[in-house]
């Protein structure tokens, strides 16, 4: 994966991190203990961010694997780069739906709720020893039904490679860290004017990422003129049944 | 490498220039207060009417020096 | 999918709730909720499911308090509380001549210390003064000094106008201390900063050339380039050594002349030896040069000095600000009414009016009115004194209850307070400076180094004479106490900073070192060991009259009235016809006639005092508490006792000090019985606990102890302690004390209670331990360097690595030491 493809991801992550800080801020706050010494605070933050990173990377890798499976299945059915296409399409739909929501029209009736057992477990962490608590909170962040995160996971699936998937989630993590470390609070008042537009902004971003995924990754002939590189495999050749390990074993 | 014989003196002159500028800045009090300018950065320079300044009681500043 | 009608109804109802904004914010993250997710029935709105989940988690774990603390934009602005002052004393011609400067443009500038600035919004507001008062051309605020520089047109508005405008905005202005002193300090600070900057520039440039030289040493460099770089370094180093580094030479010379050790001496020796040795080698074109080490050394040491001075300034300014808060004005009674003048200028024989709650500005006799005076700040007496026509009053006491008119008998420096202040100044000036630990080490250090250098020289003269000088110079350069010179100031600065964060302000690092040594702690009682004000300690009788009593004392300034205000919650009972009497007050509360006062006052109004009440009154009096009778409708219903209570943390803190090995003593101006009672209550082994001590006696006692060779630490809060504090080795003023105490003290606490004193002692010990560790470490490095130099293995490269390494180690240790932080 070329690094310049990661940069827009990081950029999008930073832009959207306002909401990340707002929503996961309490977790970051619970994870670190303001009364502890700076050395300890640093360690706790490390646990939290590290836990987050670990869960993100895992998600990304899993998504990439799933995408690869989709690709293989698609290849077997004769469709190339199925994962990128499906992921891109889903992102388009999602982004559009989110945009419409801001205008008052609710068309996708998806309600993702945490199972109460998970909620109870997370609540019980309050009593846990602090390092375990901060790490567990970090790990659990990936479990939260966060649309923003899922958009990136979908993008990761679209890459159809576990490594690239993990890289995309790494880009997301990198974009998040400044805000979650509280650096963003300094700009809080400056961003107050931007706040109003965050829902529209994030919906548009998701839409664009979906569009970008379709255009650059699916290697459809129609887009060959727009993005000549997409004609060349940017992440490896299209897998054929001959590459499939289980198939290979048979032969 | 003999260019060094030219470069080094020029460097010294430039450094001296920088040092003089620093001396001027210090003497004219640029470094006296390093805390308040950081706060001033946070101000929004709005038009005079945009923010309501508090009222001071009448009679202050109205009378001439007596 | 909800119907269109339902949606528009939801939107309409939400708009009804928040009519100005057609927007709803997420209850969790505060960002706008997309219109489609508005739920008219739900209590909380969320922008996404993630926020809803986290909200649920927080609620389940009981952390809802997070939401109260979240919003940083909501700044709670304190409502401005302007005083009724007219600030006319600022228009005094002499004052204006001293404090204002006339500019070429015809405008004048003045500096005013402002109270109440606590955020950037305040700075913004205060700098917009010109929009509020057009005569002001410019207003510029300096946060570190809390000073506003105002440039204004004296013909359009007077200085008192400016002051009143600032006061009405909520920022009370005061005159600064002597402007000439401020100007001198500023000049000195700038000069030091200039040195630091230039030394830094030199160090950087010389290091670049040194890098070239080192590379050349490894890879080979033709002699003319070596010469070029050496001469270039020399050119840069010379002004640095004799310009920026001259502070060290001056210090070293002074140390030699007064034969007292100071760190500057070994530093100067190292610098000079290194410089001249390097110059020699540059001319000779052999041997080693140490220009880079020298410049870096000078730079680092100057930084240490700069930090020290900044911290010193900061704590000095804090006390300056506080001492500027003392209102030094008196209200003179003249034909047309009253006029405010500077208290020191009140003419003898004139009449001054003092309202209830104000501090008495002069010494004199009462000619009209009768009131109760709170003398605790001056004498330590916790019980208010009744005065009436003919009685004497003193500066520094507070007029509690009623307006008084006083004929001036002495003002300014001639008052009892003035004479005490003079005593404070004299004793402060006569103080011997504390010899710092590092400086004591410096003395031995110099001798040792010079000895070793001589030895090295002689040794190498026998072995290899051509290198003897080089090795000696190398020795002197590498043993230059950079780390030693930096470690102590940095450790002290770090300790000062931590102490400030813990609410303990030291006026200088030397007091930290003093506090770590054994000695005797002398405590004042009123306001130090005790809260300093009367509190309700006992109530016998009818409890139902408490509400009535509270209502009657609602507006009282009397110490007992205030104690009642604190003891019971305010109520809505209507109260009228409040009359202050000698020893009490009477009022009509909700139709009942309430009489509050001492037994004598109550009896004096022909209200019978029953036996049970009298017994209680006597019992309280014997315990040195103040008994007050409460009578409703001419019948005594309850007896309330008031006393000055011991602070909650007093026992713990004093026990801690005792555990450190200090001896404890109490000196108080209050009644001996009261002092005995307090000592017994604290149950600690006091060496002495004496009452009835006047401020002059306290001073005498401290001086006597010091002459006997004891180290004295004086803890107090009132004017009656100030002179003793300035005579003690370390004077500690506790929070809430008189301003003059803060000026006389060497340490003052900004948080109430005695815990800070114990903390100061513990922090001081840890700080000294950290300093010792730093010194030990730097000595170790020096030993290594000496070993290398003697064996001839020292090269400029090694020196350039060793010295920063030692500095970094020592500095890191100094900054990371937990002295005042991390105490429980």
Q: Which residue of C has its CA nearest to A182?
A: C72
A126 touches chain C (CB under 8 A): yes
CB pairs under 8 A between B and C: 104
Chain C residues touching B65 at Cβ < 8 A: 154-158
- Residue from C524, C644, C670, C717 carrying the catalytic annotation: C524
C761 contacts: CB under 8 Å, gap ≥ 6: C515, C516, C656, C657, C660, C662
Cβ–Cβ gap C190/B40 under 8 Å? no
Which residues on neighbouring strands pair with residue C536, listed in sequence order?
C642
Tell which of B6, B14, B36, B55 to mutate to test the C interface (max C CBs under 10 Å). Answer: B36
Cβ contact (<8 Å) for B22 and C144?
no
B8 to chain C: which residues are within 8 Å by CB? 209, 228-229, 232
Q: What is the C-alpha separation between A251 and C241, in angstroms, rounded?
A: 83
User: Are C155 and B65 within 8 A, CB to CB?
Assistant: yes
Distance CA A105, CA A109 (A): 11
Q: Is C61 on the interface with A (CB under 8 A)?
A: yes
- C57 touching chain A per CB within 8 A: yes
Mutate to test the interface with C, among A40, A176, A199, A200 (most CBs of C within 10 A): A199
The shortest CB-CB distance from A199 to any of C31, C53, C61 is to C31
A23, C51: Cβ pair inside 8 Å?
yes
Scanning the structure block, which residue is given the tokens 């409460």? Answer: C630
Contacts of C128 in chain B (CB under 8 A): 53
Helices vs. strands in chain C: H and E counts, helices first: 29, 27
Of C120, C162, C198, the CB nearest to B19: C198
| Cβ contact C225–B1 (<8 Å) | yes
Chains that touch A (3 or more CB pairs under 8 A): C
The answer to whether the Cα torsion of C358, C364, C367, C369 is positive or negative is positive
Minimum CA–CA partner of C148 in chain B:
B36
Q: Which residue has the tokens 């107090």?
A: C716
Q: For A82-97, write each residue's pLDDT tens digit.
A: 777 788 888 888 888 8
Are B31 and C155 in contact (CB < 8 Å)?
no
A146 touches chain C (CB under 8 A): yes
Question: Which chain B residue lies closest to C239 (C-alpha atoms)?
Answer: B16
Joined together, the tokens standing for residue C64 give 């809802």
CA distances from A1 to A7, A161, A225, A235, C346 (A): 11, 10, 21, 6, 86
- Min Cα distance C312 → chain A (Å) is 26
Q: How many angstroms separate the CA atoms of A251 and C185, rounded?
A: 90
Burial C794-806 (b: 16+ CB within 10 A, else e): bbbbbbbebbbeb
In this complex, the chains that touch C, judged by 3 or more CB pairs closer than 8 A, are A, B
Residues of chain A falling short of pLDDT 50: 184-189, 222-236, 247-251
Which residues from chain B sit within 8 angstroms of residue C154, using beta carbons? Answer: 65
Given an 8 Å threshold on Cβ–Cβ distance, is C141 in contact with B35?
A: no
CA C489 to chain A, closest CA, distance in angstroms equals 23
Touching B: which chains, 3+ CB pairs < 8 A? C
Measured between CB atoms, which of C30, C56, C61 is closest to A22?
Answer: C30
Do B32 and C190 make contact, defined as CB atoms within 8 angstroms? yes
What pLDDT is attached to residue C276?
A: 92
Chain A nearest-CA residue for C56:
A119
| Interface mutation vs chain C, best among A23, A106, A179, most C CBs within 10 Å | A23
Contacts of B4 in chain C (CB under 8 A): 225, 228
Residues of C in contact with B63 (CB under 8 A): 158, 161
Q: Are C222 and C198 in contact, with CB atoms under 8 Å apart?
A: no
Q: Which of C94, C78, C102 is nearest to C175 (CA)?
A: C94
A190 touches chain C (CB under 8 A): no
Any chain A CB within 8 A of the CB of C53? yes
d(CA A237, nearest CA chain C) in Å: 37
The pLDDT of residue C339 is: 82
Which residue, among C245, C212, C214, C204, has the nearest Cα to B15 in the 3D structure? C204
Nearest CA in chain A to C75: A189
Of the residues A15, A18, A22, the best mutation for testing chain C's interface (the one with the most C CB atoms within 10 Å of its CB) is A22
Tell me the pLDDT tens digit for each residue of C596-649: 888 888 888 888 888 888 888 888 887 778 888 888 888 888 899 988 888 888
Flag whether residue C156 sits within 8 Å of chain B, measured between CB atoms. Answer: yes
What is the structure's pLDDT at C760? Answer: 92
A160 touches A71 (CB < 8 A): yes
Helix (H, G, I), strand (E, B) or coil at C523: strand
**The dihedral of CA C804, C810, C813, C816: what is its sign?**
negative
- Ranges of residues in chain C with a pLDDT under 50 are 1-8, 10-11, 13-21, 70-79, 321-327
| pTM more than 0.90 | no
- Contacts of residue C570, Cβ cutoff 8 Å, sequence gap at least 6: C550, C554
User: Is C524 in the active site?
Assistant: yes
**Residue C267 C-alpha from the chain's centroid:** 33
Distances (CA, A) of C35 to C1, C14, C707: 14, 10, 82
Question: Closest Cα to residue A181, out of A49, A37, A19?
Answer: A49
Contact by Cβ (8 Å): C152, C108: yes
| ipTM given for this complex | 0.75
Tell whether C52 lies on the interface with A, counting CB pairs under 8 A: yes
pLDDT of residue A186: 41
């Amino acid at each position: 994966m070329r690094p310049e493809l990661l940069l827009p991801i990081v950029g999008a992550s930073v832009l959207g991190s306002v909401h990340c800080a707002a929503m996961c801020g309490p977790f970051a706050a619970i994870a670190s203990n303001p009364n502890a010494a700076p050395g300890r605070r640093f360690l706790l933050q490390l646990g939290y961010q590290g836990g987050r990173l670990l869960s993100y990377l895992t998600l990304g890798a899993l998504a990439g694997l799933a995408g690869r499976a989709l690709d293989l299945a698609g290849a077997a059915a004769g469709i190339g780069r199925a994962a990128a296409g499906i992921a891109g399409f889903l992102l388009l739909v999602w982004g559009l739906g989110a945009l419409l929501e801001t205008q008052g029209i609710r068309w996708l009736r998806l309600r993702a709720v945490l199972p109460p057992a998970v909620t109870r477990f997370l609540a019980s962490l309050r009593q846990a020893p602090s390092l375990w608590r901060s790490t567990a909170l970090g790990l659990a962040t990936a479990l939260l039904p966060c649309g923003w995160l899922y958009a990136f996971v979908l993008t990761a699936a679209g890459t159809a490679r576990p490594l690239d998937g993990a890289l995309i989630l790494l880009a997301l993590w990198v974009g998040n860290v400044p805000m979650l470390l509280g650096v963003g609070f300094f700009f809080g008042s400056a961003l107050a004017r931007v706040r109003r537009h965050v829902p529209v902004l994030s919906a548009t971003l998701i839409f664009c990422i979906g569009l970008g995924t379709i255009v650059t990754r699916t290697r459809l002939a129609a887009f060959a003129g727009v993005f000549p590189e997409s004609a060349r495999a940017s992440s490896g050749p299209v897998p054929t049944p001959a590459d499939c390990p289980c198939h290979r074993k048979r032969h | 490498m003999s260019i060094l014989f030219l470069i080094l003196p020029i460097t010294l002159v430039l450094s001296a220039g920088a040092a003089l500028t620093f001396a001027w800045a210090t003497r004219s009090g640029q470094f006296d207060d390093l805390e308040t300018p950081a706060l001033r950065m946070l101000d929004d320079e709005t038009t005079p009417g945009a923010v309501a300044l508090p009222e001071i009681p009448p009679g202050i500043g109205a009378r001439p020096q007596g | 999918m909800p119907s269109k009608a339902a949606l528009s109804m939801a939107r309409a109802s939400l708009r009804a709730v928040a009519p100005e904004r057609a927007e709803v914010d997420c209850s969790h993250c505060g960002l706008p909720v997309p219109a489609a997710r508005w739920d008219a029935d739900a209590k909380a709105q969320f922008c996404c499911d993630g926020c809803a989940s986290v909200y649920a988690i927080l609620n389940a774990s009981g952390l809802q308090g997070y939401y109260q603390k979240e919003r940083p934009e909501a700044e709670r602005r304190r409502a401005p509380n302007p005083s009724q002052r007219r600030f006319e004393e600022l228009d005094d011609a002499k004052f204006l001549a001293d404090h204002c400067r006339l500019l070429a443009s015809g405008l004048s500038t003045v500096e005013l210390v402002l109270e109440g600035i606590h955020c950037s919004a305040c700075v913004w507001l205060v700098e917009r003064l010109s929009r509020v008062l057009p005569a002001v051309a410019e207003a510029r605020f300096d946060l570190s000094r809390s000073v506003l520089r105002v440039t204004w047109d004296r013909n359009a508005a007077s200085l008192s106008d400016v002051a009143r405008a600032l006061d009405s905005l909520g920022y009370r202005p005061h005159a600064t201390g002597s402007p000439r002193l401020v100007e001198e300090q500023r000049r000195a600070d700038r000069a030091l900063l200039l040195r630091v900057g230039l030394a830094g520039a030199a160090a950087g440039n010389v290091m670049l050339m040194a890098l070239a030289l080192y590379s050349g040493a490894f890879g080979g460099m033709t002699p003319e380039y070596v010469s070029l770089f050496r001469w270039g370094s020399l050119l840069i180093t010379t002004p640095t050594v004799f310009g920026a580094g001259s502070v060290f030479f001056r210090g070293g010379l002074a140390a030699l002349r007064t034969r007292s050790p100071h760190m500057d001496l070994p530093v100067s020796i190292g610098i000079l030896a290194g410089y001249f040795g390097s110059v020699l080698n540059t001319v000779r074109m052999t041997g080693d040069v140490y220009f880079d080490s020298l410049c870096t050394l000078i730079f680092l040491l100057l930084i240490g000095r700069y930090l020290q001075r900044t911290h010193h300034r900061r704590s000095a300014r804090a006390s300056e600000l506080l001492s500027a808060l003392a209102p030094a004005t008196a209200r003179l009674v003249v034909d047309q009414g009253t006029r405010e003048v500077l208290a020191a200028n009140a003419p003898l024989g004139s009449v001054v009016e003092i309202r209830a709650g104000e501090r008495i500005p002069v010494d004199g006799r009462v000619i009209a009115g009768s009131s109760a005076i709170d003398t605790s700040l001056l004498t330590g007496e916790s019980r208010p004194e009744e005065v009436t026509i003919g009685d004497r009053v003193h500066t520094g006491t507070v007029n509690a209850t009623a307006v008084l008119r006083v004929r001036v008998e002495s003002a300014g420096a001639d008052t009892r307070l003035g004479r005490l202040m003079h005593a404070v100044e004299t004793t402060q000036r006569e103080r011997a400076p504390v010899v710092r630990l590092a400086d004591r080490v410096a003395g031995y250090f110099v001798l040792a180094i010079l000895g070793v250098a001589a030895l090295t020289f002689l040794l190498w003269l026998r072995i290899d004479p051509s290198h003897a000088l080089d090795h000696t110079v190398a020795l002197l350069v590498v043993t230059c106490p950079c780390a030693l010179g930096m470690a102590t100031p940095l450790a002290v600065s770090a300790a000062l900073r931590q102490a400030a964060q813990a609410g303990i302000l030291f006026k200088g690092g030397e007091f930290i070192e003093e506090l770590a040594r054994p000695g005797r702690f002398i405590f004042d009682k009123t306001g130090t060991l005790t809260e300093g004000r009367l509190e309700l300690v006992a109530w016998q009788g009818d409890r139902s009259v408490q509400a009535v009593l509270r209502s009657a004392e609602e507006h009282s300034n009397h110490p007992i009235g205030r104690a009642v205000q604190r003891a019971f919650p305010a109520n809505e009972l209507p109260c009228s016809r409040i009359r202050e009497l000698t020893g009490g007050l009477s009022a009509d509360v909700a139709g009942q006639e309430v009489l509050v006062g001492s037994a004598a006052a109550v009896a004096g109004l022909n209200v019978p005092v029953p036996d049970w009440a009298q017994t209680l009154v006597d019992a309280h009096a014997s315990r040195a508490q103040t008994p007050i009778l409460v009578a409703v409708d001419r019948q005594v219903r309850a007896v309330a006792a008031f006393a000055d209570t011991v602070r909650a943390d007093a026992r713990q803190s004093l026990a801690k000090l005792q555990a450190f090995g200090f001896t404890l003593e109490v000196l108080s101006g209050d009644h001996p019985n009261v002092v005995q009672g307090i000592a017994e209550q604290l149950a600690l082994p006091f060496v002495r606990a004496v009452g009835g001590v006047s401020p002059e006696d306290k001073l005498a006692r401290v001086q006597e102890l010091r002459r006997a060779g004891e180290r004295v630490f004086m803890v107090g809060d009132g004017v009656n302690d100030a002179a003793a504090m300035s005579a003690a080795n370390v004077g500690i003023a506790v929070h809430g004390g008189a301003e003059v105490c803060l000026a006389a003290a060497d340490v003052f606490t900004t948080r109430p209670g005695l815990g800070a004193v114990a903390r100061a002692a513990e922090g001081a010990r840890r700080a000294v331990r950290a300093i010792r560790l730093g010194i030990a470490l730097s000595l170790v490095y020096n030993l290594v360097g000496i070993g290398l130099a003697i064996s001839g293995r020292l090269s400029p490269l090694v020196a350039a690595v060793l010295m920063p390494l030692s500095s970094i180690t020592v500095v890191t240790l100094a900054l990371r030491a937990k002295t005042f932080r991390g105490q429980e």
